[in-house]
Amino acid sequence: MKRAIHTLTIFMILLFLFSSCNDQFLEKAPLDELTDENFWQTELQVKNAANACYWALIGKDLPINLSEGLSDNAPWYTMTSWRQIGSGLYGSDFSLLNTRYRDSYRQLRRCNHFLNNYERATAVDAELLEQYAAEVKFLRAFIYYYLTCFWGDVPFVTTTVSAGDEELTAPRTERAVIVDFILKELRDAAEKLPPYITPGTDKFGRISGAAAKAMESRVALQNHRWEAARDASKELMPGGRFAYHQLYSTGRPEQDYFDLFTFEGRASRNPNNLEPILSYVFNFNLPAPTRHNLSRELQVPDQIIRFNPTQSLIDSYLCSDGLPIEKSPLYKGNGTYTPAYSAYDSLFVNRDPRLKQSIVYPGYDKWYGREDGRGTSNPAMDASKTNIFRSPKFNNDGKGAVTYTGYYVRKYCEPSKVPVYNQDDNDIIFIRYGEVLLNYAEAMYELGALNQTVVDETVNLLRDRVGMKRMNLVELAANGLDLKEELERERRVELFMEGHRWFDLLRWKQGYKLGVDKAESAARQEMGIQKGIRKDYAYDPSVFASSTKFDNNGYLIFDDSRLFENPKNYLWSLPFRQMELNPNLRPNNPGWED
């Protein structure tokens, strides 16, 4: 796939040319030109057509930029389009709505065109032909999944639509009907695809039967189809038909979770990493290199970092005894820290090991963000000379990575790619086995079937990888902890920066954590305000601008403008431009009528 996908640009142009409506159907196709009439003949042509449909995955934008911008995990430092949608501060004329909607239907048109024409390639091996078709069916289902998550009921089209066709003004189809189609499409695709794609090979990045099953699990879970989510997940677990993938572990609990998301573990090059089920593969070494800029965005050494982890994210990590910070006697970051720990250092003491593997911590010795909060006031601790992180920097003077919340993302950051712009070719993971385990655990909970055995074969496998205390249902009850809340916590911690949090909160009907819902209680309204560290946890509190706001407990207020109205913000407004083009899209989603 690493080479094949780079034929996309050429083929996108060809596809645009031959997929338009052709009224002159009696004319013969020129033998020396490539047209739709003579295109579907060779395997290469079919493969290129399928590759063109992979546009639907859109690199790192969908799993990282979109979800983190929308969620309460690590919003962008500026009011990007995604963060603005997450804030609720937009209308039906917001341009990104139209772009996202329009591009989705362009992607669908490409998939539909393939599926309406691929059988014309009679010279291609039938089994291989159906495999490419199954890839495209997966991608069509993938597109419809996100459309229904964003807008609910949407127009449902499975044929190639051209100018003048009635489908262009089709009314919206119920979300439940489309979800039924998605689940069936994924089941059918799984039967025609190879069960798995071997990591470290040139095919890694293509869609497998395991990917179709995992996606079925995700779609079913999001739409409260608990039995379907359970069954699809189970097929990927030991004893299942698609059992191949497993958690990445080399016996280094202090490192393996972090390495899964860096060059050390990237499955496109590492044949020993069986955890990623579907990844978007980049390659900087190709003649036409593909790359992104994520590592630099996480720790950019002379600007404000792009993704700013919130205090609620940091607080969600348990202490090493398996208790939340408000219950554990091991927690040091509550203002009662001893002189042995600085205020900031204390936040990382006695915590779930995934915290230090996800967030930059004091003493981190591969710090390319360079000069930090102690650099100018204490030359002996100047991180610009030591590559060792000491404390967060808030002063945007061009001499180090600046955070707006007091935290920096470590997960997904390849240190060697921080100093350079747009030269990161790390894999972006769309689906991995760790998610499947959590999907199964949640589905079993909703079905009333979650017991210690299920916890041991799901949540505790994730905890074992990092050396975290195992979840014990008897102990949870004895400590007055809610099992559902602890499953939700586990999902937030394990899947941070992977594109799940916003969708999870919508599924759990916890929109009040995304923004202030004035219909909710005061406590829940407080949850909607995105915050950072306490002022007295900064090495030098004088670095804060006079305009910086803090709450009554001294926590930095990062964003208190976010709004969330139930039911309005559980779906997006339909784009005004699309409602102009197709009046049958109306009425708009609840709350967006005006």
pLDDT in tens, 194-248: 999 999 999 999 999 999 999 999 999 999 999 999 999 999 999 999 999 999 9
Cβ within 8 Å of residue 386, ≥6 positions away: none
What residues does each domain of the chain span? Answer: 1-22+33-185, 194-281+430-496, 296-426
Which residue shows structure tokens 């799901």?
458
User: Torsions phi, psi of 76, nearest 5?
Assistant: -65, 155
Give the CATH architecture of domain 194-281+430-496.
Alpha Horseshoe (1.25)
Exposure b/e, 316-339, CB count within 10 A at least 16 = b: bbbbbebbbbeebeebbbeeebee
| Per-residue model confidence as pLDDT tens digits over 275-290 | 999 999 999 888 888 9
Q: Say how many C-beta atoms besides its own lie within 10 A of residue 571's C-beta.
A: 20
Question: Six-digit token pair at 328?
Answer: 């554990």
- Our CA angle for 30, 32, 36, nearest 5°, is 55
How would residue 526 be classed by pLDDT, with cut points 50, 70 and 90? very high
pTM across the whole model: 0.92
Q: For the segment 131-156, what is each residue's pLDDT rounded down to a tens digit? A: 999 999 999 999 999 999 999 999 99
Is pLDDT at 27 greater than 80 in this prediction?
A: no
Model pLDDT for residues 385-439, shown as the tens digit of each residue: 568 898 899 988 888 999 999 999 999 999 989 999 999 999 999 999 999 999 9
| Contacts of 36-43 spanning 24+ positions with Cβ under 8 A | 36/117, 39/14, 40/117, 40/118, 40/120, 40/121, 41/121, 41/123, 42/121, 42/123, 42/124, 43/121, 43/124, 43/125, 43/128
Residue 286: predicted pLDDT? 81
CA–CA separation, 474 and 401 (whole Å): 44
Q: Which helix (H) or strand (E) holds 532?
A: strand 530-534
pLDDT at 23: 31
| pLDDT tops 90 at residue 14 | no
- When computed from its CA atoms, the radius of gyration of the chain, rounded to whole angstroms, is 25
- Alpha-helix residue ranges (DSSP H) falling in 373-432: 383-386
| 1-22+33-185 is a CATH 1.10.3720.10 domain | no
Matching fold, domains 1-22+33-185 and 194-281+430-496: yes
For 16, how many CA atoms within 13 A lie in the half-sphere containing its CB? 7
The vertex-500 CA angle with 101 and 77, nearest 5°, equals 80
Q: State yes or no: pLDDT of 380 exceeds 80.
A: no
Tell me what the mean pLDDT of segment 557-561 comes to. 94
CA separation, residue 175 to residues 513, 567, 587 (Å): 25, 16, 15
Place of tokens 């002022």: 535
Find the range with the poorest average confidence among 112-121, 249-258, 341-350, 515-524.
341-350
Under DSSP, the state recorded for 490 is H
Region of poorest pLDDT, from 105-109, 190-194, 375-379, 434-438: 375-379
**Mean pLDDT value across residues 345-367:** 95
For residue 292, list its beta bridge partners: 424
Flag whether pLDDT at 15 surpasses 80: no
**Phi-psi category of 155—alpha, beta or left, where left has phi over 0 and alpha has psi -120 to 50?**
beta
Q: Is the pLDDT of residue 539 over 70?
A: yes
Asked whether the bond before 63 is cis by omega within 30 degrees of 0, the reply is: no
Bridge partners (DSSP) of residue 429 are: 279
CA atoms of 185 and 166, how far apart (whole Å): 24
> What percent of the chain is modeled with pLDDT above 70?
89
Q: Which residue has the higher pLDDT, 348 or 82?
A: 348
Compare 22 and 375 and report the one with higher pLDDT: 375
Cβ count within 10 A of residue 397: 12
Identify the residue with better confidence: 237 or 545. Answer: 237
What value does the mean pLDDT of the chain take? 90
Which pLDDT value is given to residue 262?
Answer: 96
